[in-house]
């Protein structure tokens, strides 16, 4: 898996995702095996992102390493691997949990996120991430810094539970 840094102020949809992919220089991407310049387009798969009152379908690009043969999904840093809830929404849920436990505003803003999904996110946070975030004093208030710190300290996207190899590609500014 390769996570690509993107601005957090743009809403994610298929068009913005395609713009991200189309502006990438594939020869600059590095495989988890350590080689660069060896990734080629391999295909796409569909994934859904919970937004508003429904899901946004996204066609996620996969690349294949000609050196080791592994395939990788190209995910923007707005997404949490293996989750249909965006990183920003997960941060909002965790922040509400840490502050007051009031999730009404989150559920009103994104009706496709219900109490069960919130409980699941909090459970994963408490079990896998809360101690890490507190131990390293990682702040939740600035998502781009959160992403970079989680990759620097743990080698994974924030709130990523499965230990699938994941690297962060910092897009040139």
Q: What is the pLDDT of residues 79-123, one digit of tens each?
A: 999 999 999 999 999 999 998 878 888 888 888 888 999 999 999
Cβ pair 159, 78 in contact under 8 A: no
Sheet holding 39-51, edge to edge: 39-51, 54-65, 71-76, 2-4, 167-169
CB-count exposure of residue 40 (10 Å: 0-12, 13-18, 19+)? exposed
User: What is this structure's pTM?
Assistant: 0.90
Q: In the chain, which residues have pLDDT < 70? A: 173
Q: Which two tokens stand for residue 43?
A: 């295909």
User: Residue 24: exposed, middle, or buried by beta-carbon count in 10 A (0-12, 13-18, 19+)?
Assistant: middle
Residue-level length of the chain: 173
According to DSSP, residue 71 is labeled: E
Q: What does the pLDDT read at residue 75?
A: 95
User: Alpha-carbon distance 59 to 147, whole Å?
Assistant: 22
What pLDDT, on the 0 to 100 scale, is given for residue 5? 93
């Amino acid at each position: 898996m390769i996570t690509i840094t993107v601005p957090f102020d743009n809403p994610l949809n298929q068009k913005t995702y395609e713009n991200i992919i189309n502006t990438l220089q594939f020869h600059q991407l590095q495989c988890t095996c350590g080689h660069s310049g060896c990734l080629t387009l391999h295909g796409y798969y569909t994934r859904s992102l919970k937004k508003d009152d429904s899901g946004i379908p996204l066609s996620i690009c996969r690349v294949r390493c000609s050196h080791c043969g592994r395939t990788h999904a190209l995910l923007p840093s707005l997404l949490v691997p293996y989750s249909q809830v965006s990183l920003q929404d997960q941060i909002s849920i965790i922040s509400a949990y840490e502050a007051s436990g009031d999730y009404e505003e989150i559920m009103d803003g994104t009706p496709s996120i219900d109490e069960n999904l919130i409980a699941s996110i909090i459970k994963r946070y408490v079990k896998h991430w809360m101690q890490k975030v507190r131990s390293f004093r990682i702040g939740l208030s600035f998502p781009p810094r959160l992403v970079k710190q989680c990759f620097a300290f743990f080698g994974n996207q924030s709130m990523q539970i499965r230990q699938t190899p994941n690297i962060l590609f910092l897009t040139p500014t």
